[in-house]
Amino acid sequence: MLGLDYDNSAILVAHLGNGASACAVKNGKSVDTTMGLTPLEGLVMGTRSGDIDPNVFSFLNKQLGYSLDEITDILNKKSGLLGLSEMDNDCRVIEDAAAQGNERAQLTLDVFCNVLAKKLAGFAAEMGRIDALVFTGGIGENSSVIRKNVLERLSIFGFEVDEKTNEETFRGKSGVITKPGSTVAMVVATNEELMIARDTEALIAH
């Protein structure tokens, strides 16, 4: 798509759906990712907190009396976009509220984008350069608001969003969303379900 040399490339991938993660892909291989032992680590997600002080477990238990199961449930199912906005885990609902001037909704979007931008910047440091940044997943493929917010935070790496193309890229459309001469950011529509089905078929066929 970009004519990059597969064996000499550094690509950042932001897969933003309900679950969300970022990945550093060097020379075609994933060399780092934001999720950890469980999908809770890393980015702010629909209902998952992402990175948080691990002492939150002992604090919420000792100070506020929550059980281990309750804290696990809060961090996985009641945090993230839902917990920050106190509205919904669906990014569209929060974007609409922010557009109407709801400050809490705007803060939620800013936290989401700030955490993502910091992770991507860290990956850039790890790989030594960025040839392209790929947005995918429901939010990555459809939200021009989130993409613009993140790219502006990463302008130090030479990203310059093309506002018109960015706004016109959604619902399965793929393509570059930055200006000519900018470090490349693009949308790549994924079909995870098809990949999972193909991988499963390949595994059970043997």
Ligand X SMILES: Nc1ncnc2c1ncn2[C@@H]1O[C@H](COP(=O)(O)OP(=O)(O)O)[C@@H](O)[C@H]1O
Residues that bind ligand X (CB under 6 A): 17-19, 46, 90-92, 95, 137-139, 142-143, 170
Residue 51 to residue 7: CA distance in whole angstroms: 32
Please report, in angstroms and rounded to a whole number, the separation of the first and last CA atoms in the chain.
33
Residues 49/43, Cβ–Cβ less than 8 Å: no
Q: Which of 4, 32, 33, 39 binds ligand UVW (CB under 6 A)?
A: 39
Give yes or no for a contact between 109 and 146, defined as CB atoms under 8 angstroms apart. yes
Q: How far is the CB of 19 from ligand UVW (least distance, A)?
A: 2
Nearer to Mg ion, 178 or 190 (CB): 190
DSSP secondary structure code for residue 176 in this structure: E
Q: Is 206 annotated as ligand-binding?
A: no
- Does 76 engage in binding with ligand UVW (CB under 6 A)? no
17 among annotated binding-site residues: yes
Sign of the torsion angle spanned by Cα atoms 118, 162, 184, 22: positive
Whose Cβ is closer to Mg ion: residue 17's or residue 122's?
A: 17
Residue 39 or residue 122: which is nearer to ligand UVW going by CB?
39
Minimal distance in Å, beta carbon 77 to ligand X?
14
> Which residue type occupies 68?
L
Residue 19 binds ligand UVW (CB under 6 A): yes
Say whether residue 138 binds ligand UVW (CB under 6 A): no
From the list ligand UVW, Mg ion, ligand X, none, partner contacted by residue 39 (C-beta under 5 to 8 A by kind): ligand UVW
Binding residues vs Mg ion (CB under 5 A) = 17, 192
Q: Give the DSSP per-residue string, 89-143.
A: S-HHHHHHHHHTT-HHHHHHHHHHHHHHHHHHHHHHHHHS--SEEEEEHHHHHH-
